[in-house]
Structures are given as structure tokens and as C-alpha cells.
A = this chain, B = another copy of it.
């Protein structure tokens, strides 16, 4: 019966033809992860977390933010932290940097990379940084070129790409235009954020296609939230289209304070588990990454939502009863 009813030409090979052999994971837990924690975390706690992430093999880590301490009290120790950190050879520590004052602080702290940020939707940008998108890009045009001249790498975040909590749908063509302006200013990579975790794979395909129409895959990264469980399905679609850069946060700590229900950056260990089990190289040691998740839980003082952190990688169990 089963032989006779085989009517489908088995597909498959074409699906993974473009999946990259290597992926670069950009770790955001020390900044994006911690910034909304209400309990102040000590400098030593932050250093422990960052050291654990480095030990796990993460090579690009966003460590803090040079926004006003009034906005984000948790990261008021940005200069002090940047000074006590020593980026080992081959490791990039970056910091968020909203304006000229932030750039000054980043330069004096000796970091090698900064990140600028805005939203793809006007209402979210207004709620988040109290400026129009045009005014925000004007500020960036005053800080990105001097940062580049001072030898810094500059990355950019664009939020609400998959949907805005105030405006709803966001036109991908608009996002591409914003991204092109940021690249033209001198940013080396644009991180596209599903800030409220509403993205689906069909939408991800459309967004990624628009980007691949005008730039190579290394110019953008995906920053997916797992708010509705779809983060890794969206990552998979992007992988199938050749995207090789993904942001994540160990333990799944963090989200966007202005987006209701936004519980959950994609957990780095969940991302790395899937990538590694698909045979994609990340340079990350999953056991040590899970240890870094333990450190994050200790430092923050509560359980974090990451799943592989709880379940562990796949390990054999001693059989309780053996079939004879």
C-alpha cells in the first residue's frame, strides 16, 4: 500500500543549499539583556558574565551603553566597566551610543566598536528616543563619520522591523532605505530587530529578500525575539537564504521596555544548539555557554527563560531496564 501511494517527488536538497557553514553570533546580554533589570547589578557581576561569555567562545559582545544614566540607571557604570574590561585578542566589545556625548565617552573608555539605534516606525522611535527617524539619522550623521575616523567600527540596530506595537505593519521597503542610509554613513552591519516578537517565516523571507536585493548577507543581521516561540523558525528561514549573522542574549534575558509582552530575546544557547546540531560552525562551546547562562542567572538573581539552559544539550541516560 505505501509503495503504491507514493505520489510526491521527495523534496529537500534545495532547502538547505544556501545555509552557511559558519554563523557569527552577536551577544547582547550585558547591555540589551541587563538594561531593564530593576535590581542594580554590580560591576563585578557584569564582569563575571562577560568573562563567562568570552570563555564560551563569543567574539562579539555588546557590553554596555553610553546613553544617559538617567535613562538607563543599570548601565550608569559604563565607563568604569569599559575600563576594567580587557578585550582579549580577536574579541570585540561594543557599546550602545546615541549621540556625540556618548561617542566621547566611548572613545575615552577605549572601546573598539559602538552601535547606534533607531526604530523602523515613527511612533516607536518617538516613544523610545523622542525624535523623528529623520532627526535621529541626522544625529547619526554627526557621530558615525567621526567614530569611523577615530578607528571605531559602527553597527546599527533597527527596531520594529517585523511590526510596531503602535503602528502595526511596517513596510520592508522603508526599512531597506533606512538601512542603506546607515551603511552609507559608515555602519558595517545593520541588525534588524523583531522587537515585539511577531515575525513569521513568510514575512522573514520577504524582509530578507528585500535586503539581499541590494546588499550582501554580511551587511545585515537578524535580532529575533522569541515572544511567541517563532524566533528559531525565523532564523531558519534566514539561514536558508544565506544569512550568517544573528543576535542573541544568553538565558534569553532582556527585551524592549516599550513593547508590551516583549518577554524574551532569543536565548543564545537555544540558537547555538540549533546551529550546531545542524552542523553549522559558531566557534562556541555549548557547555560553557550554558555555564555563562548559569552565571547570568546568579548575577541577575532569577530564573531566565532560555530552554537549552534548562534542558541541557542531548546527553544519554543510563537505561533503567535493558531489553534482553
Question: Do A205 and B15 have beta carbons less than 8 Å apart?
Answer: yes
Which of A30-38, A150-158, A236-244 binds B? A236-244
CB neighbours (8 Å) of A226 from chain B are 229, 307
| Smallest CB separation, A208 vs chain B (Å) | 7
Question: Do A11 and B18 have beta carbons less than 8 Å apart?
Answer: yes
Number of copies: 2
Tell me, yes or no, whether A310 is within 8 Å of chain B by CB.
yes
Tell me, yes or no, whether A215 is within 8 Å of chain B by CB.
yes
Given known contacts A16-B202, A232-B232, A273-B230, A213 and B10 CB-to-CB distance under 8 angstroms: yes
Q: Could you tell me the dominant secondary structure of chain A's interface residues?
A: loop
Question: Do A307 and B227 have beta carbons less than 8 Å apart?
Answer: yes
Instruction: Among A12, A198, A260, find the residue whose CB has the most chain B CB atoms closer than 10 A.
Output: A12
Q: Which A residues are within 8 Å of any B CB, using their own CB?
A: 1-3, 5-8, 10-12, 14-16, 18, 122-123, 125-127, 130, 132, 163, 165-168, 180, 183-184, 196-198, 200-203, 205-206, 208-209, 212-217, 219, 226-233, 235-237, 240-242, 260-261, 263, 267, 270, 273-274, 277-279, 306-308, 310-312, 314, 316-323
20 examples of A-B residue contacts, CB within 8 angstroms? A5-B215, A6-B213, A11-B18, A11-B212, A12-B206, A12-B209, A14-B14, A15-B241, A123-B322, A126-B319, A165-B316, A165-B317, A200-B277, A227-B307, A229-B229, A229-B267, A229-B308, A230-B273, A232-B232, A233-B233
With A5-B216, A126-B323, A166-B319 given, name 12 new contacts (CB 8 A).
A1-B184, A3-B214, A8-B216, A11-B212, A12-B241, A15-B237, A123-B319, A127-B320, A163-B314, A201-B274, A229-B231, A260-B317
